[in-house]
Amino acid sequence: MKMKDARAVVTGGASGLGHAVASHVVASGGKVVLLDVQEQPGLAAAATLGAQTGFIKCDVTAEQEVNAAMQSAHERLGNINLLVNCAGVIGAARMLGRSGPVAGEFFTRVVHINLIGTFLCDKAAAALMQHNAPSADGERGLLIHTSSVAAYEGQIGQAAYAATKAAVAGMTLPIARELAMFGIRCVAVAPGIFRTPMVAGMPPEVQDSLARQIPFPPRLGKPEEFAQLVGAIFENPMLNGTTIRLDGAIRMQAK
């Protein structure tokens, strides 16, 4: 598959990594629909990217909402052959905080958004992708998960976040194996510290401290670099069932 032929759905596409992926798809000649719970930023992002881009408000934790949004995106695009799951929350909280043990609802919310939301989008997209006309290799589509280096080196306060990102990586292979009969691949990307809106809002000294932890290049990752990897995965059919670290060789410390 070539990026110019991409018909992509990107969750969390209003900002950060998701917006960078959508921009890369459009710049490569493809079409994209952004899914995001933030309506005004989503509409603004779609307008900025131009006529090849649409937006649908969607809460990835609501199954019927996801199914309806994916069907609507399919109708707008003609078909879907790429899903990039970027919707997610950090969800940092110590298990035993100053005010006592963290509420179970906090952990549940992070799981619902990061993990269950990814699965709901995967199955809704795959249900449509299975009917695509196959490529010469028999390929019909690609599902991409956004994991994190926290899946491997979660820091203090990241129990919920690290658990979901490890789970997202962990379900990549079984999904790839199951969907192989349809010619649908599944790959996860585990980014390190990237200059997302959350990080960009930190004080400059904090950003500099984070950048110094990265062996090479000694800087924060650029969302465009994440998007470039998504493009490379889309065009290389042998990338399947695996998780790729994109982290400048960083290994996170305890805190």
Catalytic residue (one of 161, 182, 226, 234): 161
Q: How far is CA 35 from CA 12, 38, 245, in A?
A: 6, 9, 25
3-state secondary structure at position 150: helix
Whether 119 and 88 have beta carbons less than 8 Å apart is answered as no
Tokens in use for 45? 């992002």
| Distance of alpha carbon 196 from alpha carbon 221, whole angstroms | 9
Pairing of strands 82-85, 96-97: unpaired
| Distance of alpha carbon 166 from alpha carbon 154, whole angstroms | 9
> Catalytic: 161?
yes
Q: Which of 100, 211, 91, 213 is nearest to 162 (CA)?
A: 91
Half-sphere exposure in the Cβ direction for 119 (13 Å, CA)? 13
Tokens in use for 116? 């269950």
Active site residues: 161
